[in-house]
A and B are shown apart, each in its own frame.
Chain A
């Protein structure tokens, strides 16, 4: 029986792989649901933050924060949100491609680039291509806390406040559905004020405690942080979705392979039996 045993071992090994990919698929599916939930929970904060900042933009402010001022662009900052782990299809690659396109556009205008890498994959990639990584935040786990990101973000925000960078972007995946994720580049700084709300359009200002400058500084920083945090939670939901799809297709592939090998094995087995019978018949005839 030619190769019968080998084929059987191979089938066995593929079956084991399939078990693993199936388990990973199911784990990713349940993690995705939880990540989506977290993404949803983080939304009210960002929404509230956005409306407060919009109110602030309409108030006849005595103090204009540097985050709202446009400057000539000599150096830009990119915060790139990627995953910590692989096996999630083309998720990171698509994101990096988008980011690299944007980076090369700035580079062609002789603008320098600083990068903050969130996620091990991004850190590895941008390090390899020789980007100037100013800060990083990796190994955040499935439920990232804002605290884990503060340090990495502060470097960029301080750089903007001190005029070392003139634009700040965040690159992350947008969660469209479990099957589809879209890389997206968002401008964080300077902040574009939303369209003024008509009914609030009058001359008024907040009472500030302790004073406008300190309050607005703290608010702006938190606003940007909340946007980045939201990007990170969304990217995790994307990671789980992408992994689920990738693992599903891996399990399917394993299934096809097993079917094909089973066919080959059966044929080989049948051929061996036929041959044996022929030999016996031949032997009997010779006697």
Chain B
């Protein structure tokens, strides 16, 4: 099988497509690249764009990716697609938002980290659950 190459396209949320092709075109960051079988190992970032897979039957498959990574290793092309548009400033904004919410939540924080208290509390809660289960087992038999 020297003249085909295996292609796996996956995103964080699901497996998008997997199959064989004779040629793959992908929107790499430095420009579109074409990958034929026996390509050298390659690792690149993808821009938002279209991935084209030419199949041996002459059919073409199209996939849209909003960015991600592409790896070529031996006879396998792996596309790790992003599901969302990723840009440094967008990520930054999301991070700041997550931090802001956390700070807001901590606004009325009381004092230092009290792990001992937390442990005691959890023990109590777990004991309550166990007790309820025991009671239930008893009640069930009665």
Query: Taking beta carbons and an 8 Å cutoff, which residues of A are in contact with B?
Result: 38, 41-42, 44-45, 48-49, 51-52, 55-56, 59, 89-90, 93-94, 96-97, 100-101, 103-104, 107, 113, 116-117, 123, 125, 127-138, 145-147, 150-152, 154-155, 158, 204-210, 214-216, 218-219, 222, 225-226, 229, 249, 252-253, 256
Contacts and interface: CB of A to CB of B under 8 A. Distances in A.
B94 A45 contact: no
Interface in B33-56: 33, 40-45
Contact of A146 (B83, B96, B114): B83
Contacts, number: 189
Given A100-B119, A107-B113, A208 B43 contact: yes
A136 B102 contact: yes
Nearest to A130: B113
Interface string B55-76: 0000000000000110101000
B116 to A, nearest CB: 8
B43 A215 contact: yes
Interface string B9-34: 01111110000000000001110010
Contacts of A132: 106, 113
The 6 closest A-B pairs by CB, nearest first: A151-B94, A151-B98, A209-B44, A154-B95, A129-B118, A41-B14
Given A136-B98, A226-B12, A252-B140, 13 more contacts: A41-B14, A45-B80, A93-B122, A96-B122, A100-B118, A104-B116, A127-B109, A136-B105, A146-B82, A147-B83, A151-B98, A151-B99, A215-B69
A93 B105 contact: no
A135 B98 contact: yes
Interface in B83-140: 83-84, 86, 91-99, 101-102, 105-106, 109-119, 121-123, 125-126, 129, 136, 139-140
Contacts of A127: 105-106, 109
Contacts of B101: 135-136, 138
Contacts of A150: 84, 86, 91, 94-95
A130 B114 contact: yes
Contact of A130 (B68, B102, B111): B111
B4 interface: no
Contact of B29 (A145, A210, A219): A210
A93 B129 contact: yes
Contacts of B29: 209-210
